[in-house]
Structure 1
Amino acid sequence: MVFTSFNWPNGQILPTMSYLALLLAGIGLWIIYQVIYAIYNYFLSPLRQIPGPCLASVSWLPWYRYWFSGYMHRHVHQLHETYGPVVRIGPSEVSFISTAAWKDIYGLKRCRQIERDPKSFPSLTPHGARFDLLTYSPVDHAKYRKILNPCFSEKATKEYEPTIHGNVDGLVAKLLANVRRDSNDKSVRTNVTNWFQWLTFDMVTDVCWGRSFDCVANEKSHVCLALSMDLVSYSSFIVFVAWWRGLKDFLVELSGVEGLFVDLVRSQCEKHHLVAANNELTAEKTKASIYSNLRQAGDPLNLAELDGNLTAIVIAGSETTGFALTATSYYLAKNPDCFRKAAAEVRHAFFSPEEIKDDALRKLPYLKAAIDEALRMTPAEPNGLARKVVVDGGLDIAGQLIPKGTAIYVSQFAANRSAKYFHLPNDYHPERWLGAPKFKDDQLDAVQPFIMGVNVCIGRGLAWMEMRVTLAKLLWNFDWTVRDGDGDAFEQSKAWHVWTKSHVNLQLRERGMIYGEI
């Protein structure tokens, strides 16, 4: 019998059959480990009492299957409808949908007992989220919140209002020109997904540095905006390799996102310095911005911290608000009665669009309800924002003992669409937020689009202003509807950390051209 052989580093020669034996032994040990792992998770794990699919309790394969499909949010929703308000999604991962879970997981009292799970978040901001609001360290997060909170206070947000109006007015002017140009062509549709992403990127960069990137004016995405949209699907793979830190960091570097956003942040800061210096010479007031507020506070962030925090603000501020505007405009188009009510409220409150101010918009209940209901139907973060229990002995979460090391979260899409908490959960009804008797048993506290606790969205006040002003001026100037089939892509959108940008094409016309005088 003839044997081939391998030369090992120490000079010894090992027959091929011995090599194969070692390989088979390794495979056998791996199989034995997996069997023991499965037996432990199913019969002995402290999570064994939590309901869920049998396979999900012993293997991560179902989790990865649904995550990569882009329909994890729908899968988890179905599991909650089957098993109840708490479901075991993986061997060491649990999803909740109850209002009690919101408080127990994200509330202030648990901020040192439950921390962000680094394996569930791709660190796509410069320096791997070590020097910004997205940091996994509670101490560092508290530090950055303290520094940035004044930039998002009610007073500061009010100073940004002229910036918001200027950008929205630019959008309205562009859309009016397009609508009038195409007034005789009934087949023309307006891709509001693109327009809202351009608008919100312009607004957030203008608020950050006092200078817009003119995406709306140019009808074109800035390179950083285009990249951040592509990272939706890319980030899903980053999560898959999160356990291998070196590979994860390499893939983030390979994407080029860090370098692009570092260049963006630093170039805009330099331009702000030049503008501010010129204004000092001419005695002009520098435009209110987040960066100007940081400078007035004594530049409390170093260069790396500026890179990370301003990048996080730009990505989050454009991505989530743009999608919320798309969703709200789509649901209003899909429900003409709701559109008429929202439009009537705005048009009767103001004689001209120039009169529209945010203080007055805050007093319009139906406008707020229309946005609230869109955020319920399609929350910006459809899957859970994972946290991990870090204390020995575990914690009681919504009546369940959760051991240390378990990833836990509230699945927003599943909670917001739960038949247990909402009447007609899959239908758009702003009236449920206005005390309508038909929806008197709805548990509105289950909806937390900006989450809560120490990690509550720092820019929620600014986001609300942007949404109110944008929708009010659009409702004052335009009618819109959606034709059969034009909303299919939106209804079937995939989602990972955020939604994919499925195009919503609306039939947009000047005020009165679709619904008559309202």
Structure 2
Amino acid sequence: MGAEIPRSFIQVTVVLLLTAVIALIGQVIYNICFHPISKYPGPLLRAAFSLPALLENFAGSSVSNIHALHKQYGSVVRIAPDTLSFSTAQAWKVSDDINHARIRKLLSHAFSDVALKEQTSIVASHIDEFMRQVQMRSSANKKNKVDINAWFNYLAYDIIADLSFGEPLGALKHGQPSMYINEFFKACRTWPMIPLAHEFTLVNLLFRGLMKIPAVRKNQETTYLATMESVDKRMNNDNLERKDFMTYILHHNDKNVLSSAEIAGCTTVLVNGGGEAVASCLSATMFLLLKNPDIHARTMAEVRGLLNLEQTLDFEAVSRLVYLNAVVEESLRVCPPAPGNFARRTNIDTEIDGHVVPPDISVGVHQWSANHSLQNFYQPDQFVPERWLANAPPEYHNDIKGAMQPWSSGPRNCLGKRLAYMEIRMTLARLLWLFNMELSPESDGWLEKQTYNIIWNRTPLYIRVLPRDLSQQGSRPKAKMAFTSYKHTYPLENSNESTRLQNQHEVIKDAMGGLILAPIDLKSSPLRILDSGTADGTWIRDFAASVAPVQHNLYGTDLNPAEFPSDVPPGTVYQAQDVNQPWPQDWEGTFDLVHQRLVLVAAGPKQKDALLSLCGLVKPGGWIQLIEATNKLPDGCGPNMVAFVDLMKAIFVNLGADLDLAERMPEWLKEAGFVDVNFVDIATKMGATNPKTELAQRGVISSSIAANGLAQFGKNLPAGALTIPAEKLETLGSDLREELKEMGALYPLRVVWARKPL
């Protein structure tokens, strides 16, 4: 018969268990009822135990779970016994500490304006290699498919490693992740176990046992030694001709502000954080662009219309791409690289968003919840880059932009964010310039499938990549005729559009006797002048030459940026703009002269609204000059000229336009409060009616090209809308050309000008 367990041992065990249970119950009661943050809303289970928060971090479900809690409980939620999560802009207040400030001050030199310019060539060289690899890999399979997420990883880590260690990891060159990248992602999958190990003895034992497995320990040691070797090698090589992070760190560390170990640690953090943030943003932006074809098309048009190939790797040029930059900002809002809390611990009573939080409490703004909160953003779950534009639609004017801080805020904001923007913008611009891309069907729901531990566990993102056919285009896309209505834009492919515009310009200038009829002193100090509907900038260039040597500040806008000239002189700015959309707020009331020619008729039923918006751009004492067709041909015009004007009328009527626009403009300007309203009716002389041989020919060229372009549009008019025989569309351009050569025609325009009172 076996030995009996001593009664005293059983009694002691029972007492210990009861004590543990009582202590646990007491801790739970304290956490729920008496803890310094017990008054804050949140689930009781989370208030009582830290386990739910730890488990969701491990499982990768924290982002969606905490967002759901903010939806349920509001802008501040207790997500663990000693943790508060916020989702407001006012909560972005962080304290600094002496150690952090010491490190930050030294590292800041590596991210200065001077350093950024010197790093551009390094970044550009890797982006070039990335493009070469993407084109090669996509053309190597029949579906032209690549996992762009993997290649964004290779690019981002090669760049940041080259800037940190003095040499890349080789991921781009070999088309596969380096040992460093592999081990980093493995570590990210195990790191969420560390908080669990601190809380629970069993997990601690399992974790320690895992770390003792020879293969695991060897991988960790190999990665650590390889990293230290790279850092030591770079620190001991201060003779590089180029300048990278270490150049500035070593140069400004003459007083040994940082030890060698601290430099190595900081460099590792830079590589891990910098590579992951950029790659994550690029993948999310690419998905969101390709998932939204209209936004993709507008972004692509801006890039291809405003830049040549070389400028896509010019950070200053890319930074001027207003819509692309809005796309990047909106991507950072919809899917931030770090969607969780930028947590810190309070050390004194701290006021956060009106709440006094006691010491030793973990606090932070939950990025995903702040970015997707109706309290901060209108339509928070929609991808709307327009909300970041200066001329954002009115419904987005109340967005609290400060709630979104993807790089953190205050003294702890990311030092490398400008470098990140450089990499992101230049990579996207070059991709959009070089390739036509579309989302592969298997990646249609890519964003919804992602989970998050301490980084996004990004799955493959497959896209189709086809190089652009530039054989017919040189370095720029074909110009297009573009019409806008209140809902739609209608581009017409027309390879001769620039030729038409330049010839039309000369004919109209001749009929007017100049460019400006408004009595404005153009020889005075530099004026701010806008040409709305500038197309290829012909009017701006001619105007600038006519007032030389005086140099004015000239702005040209157009619906179709593909027409903008690539060679832009100093003092001239071109920007994509639809006359039916709000203008940049900082343009309101700033222009001495606003000029617009043959554009309002294409604004559809909102012609008057578009005119009034233009009026808002004029400064007190400034002038506006508008030119539109009267659409009333004089007697004696040939049948092809009549058919041409009838076709034009049918198109504009279909867009909802008022054909009496020219006659109404003076009245509308008076309604807008303008004074000194004047107009003159002129007739452009085309073909045989113009005694000047060169101008006669110009009129023939511009009219016949326009007829060919409008004929394309006429073919798509609804049944019954076309007012000329359909078969006439095929020959209208050539028939009109011959008719104008033989008998010419007069085409009437009205020029209206007015002044905004002081």
Taking structure 1 as the reference length, the TM-score comes to 0.83
Q: Against the structure 1 CA distance between its residues 38 and 244, is the aligned structure 2 distance closer, same or farther, given a 3 Å change threshold?
A: closer
Query: Aligned residue for 1:506?
Result: 463
Query: Aligned residue for 2:118?
Result: 159
Residue 73 in structure 1 maps to residue 34 in structure 2: no
Per the alignment, in what secondary structure is the counterpart of residue 77 of structure 2? strand
Residue 348 in structure 1 maps to residue 305 in structure 2: yes
Mapped partners of 1:71, 1:309: distance in 2 = 29
Query: Aligned residue for 1:455?
Result: 412
Residue 97 in structure 1 maps to residue 87 in structure 2: yes
Residue 150 in structure 1 maps to residue 109 in structure 2: yes
Mapped partners of 1:71, 1:18: distance in 2 = 47
Residue 263 in structure 1 maps to residue 222 in structure 2: no
1:49 CA displacement: 1.9
Residue 472 in structure 1 maps to residue 429 in structure 2: yes
Q: Deviations over 1:481-517 (max 9, x none)?
A: 214441434322110121112211112222369xx97
The answer to whether the 8 A contact 1:490-1:503 is kept is no
Q: Deviations over 1:228-267 (max 9, x none)?
A: 1122221111122246899789977966546524432433
Gaps of at least 5 residues in structure 2 are: 471-476, 479-561, 563-758
Q: Deviations over 1:79-114 (max 9, x none)?
A: 1111110011111111000111112xx2xxx33xxx
Mapped partners of 1:181, 1:272: distance in 2 = 41
1:398 CA displacement: 1.2
Query: Aligned residue for 1:289?
Result: 244
Mapped partners of 1:359, 1:461: distance in 2 = 12
Q: Deviations over 1:409-468 (max 9, x none)?
A: 111011111122222211211111112223222211110000012211111111111111
The answer to whether the 8 A contact 1:196-1:322 is kept is yes
The answer to whether the 8 A contact 1:265-1:306 is kept is no
Structure 1 letter corresponding to 2:193 = F
Mapped partners of 2:32, 2:404: distance in 1 = 32
Name which structure has the greater RCO, CA cutoff 8 Å, separation 6+: 1
Greater radius of gyration (CA): 2
The correspondence for 2:36, drawn from 23, 42, 46, is 46
The correspondence for 1:436, drawn from 390, 393, 400, is 393
The answer to whether the 8 A contact 2:166-2:234 is kept is no
Aligned pair count reads 462
Structure 2 letter corresponding to 1:192 = I
Matching of residues 13-412 of structure 1 within 5 Å: 15-103=5-93, 106=94, 110-111=95-96, 138-182=97-141, 185-186=142-143, 188-242=144-198, 256-257=219-220, 260-267=223-230, 269-270=232-233, 273=236, 286-297=241-252, 300=256, 301-353=258-310, 356-391=313-348, 394-412=349-367
Per the alignment, in what secondary structure is the counterpart of residue 48 of structure 1? coil
Structure 2 letter corresponding to 1:4 = A
Larger fraction in strand: 2
Query: Aligned residue for 1:424?
Result: 379
Q: Against the structure 1 CA distance between its residues 372 and 512, is the aligned structure 2 distance closer, same or farther, given a 3 Å change threshold?
A: farther
Larger fraction in helix: 1
Structure 2 letter corresponding to 1:477 = L
Mapped partners of 1:320, 1:162: distance in 2 = 21
Mapped partners of 1:59, 1:74: distance in 2 = 19
The answer to whether the 8 A contact 1:171-1:216 is kept is yes
Per the alignment, in what secondary structure is the counterpart of residue 211 of structure 1? coil
Identity of aligned residues (%): 27
Q: Against the structure 1 CA distance between its residues 192 and 16, is the aligned structure 2 distance closer, same or farther, given a 3 Å change threshold?
A: farther
The answer to whether the 8 A contact 2:61-2:452 is kept is yes
The answer to whether the 8 A contact 1:487-1:505 is kept is no
1:296 CA displacement: 3.1
Structure 2 letter corresponding to 1:296 = H
Per the alignment, in what secondary structure is the counterpart of residue 359 of structure 2? coil
Q: Deviations over 1:337-387 (max 9, x none)?
A: 111111111111122245640011111111111111111111111111211
Taking structure 2 as the reference length, the TM-score comes to 0.58
CA RMSD in angstroms comes to: 2.5
Mapped partners of 1:100, 1:408: distance in 2 = 13
The answer to whether the 8 A contact 1:204-1:318 is kept is yes
1:166 CA displacement: 0.2
1:22 CA displacement: 1.9
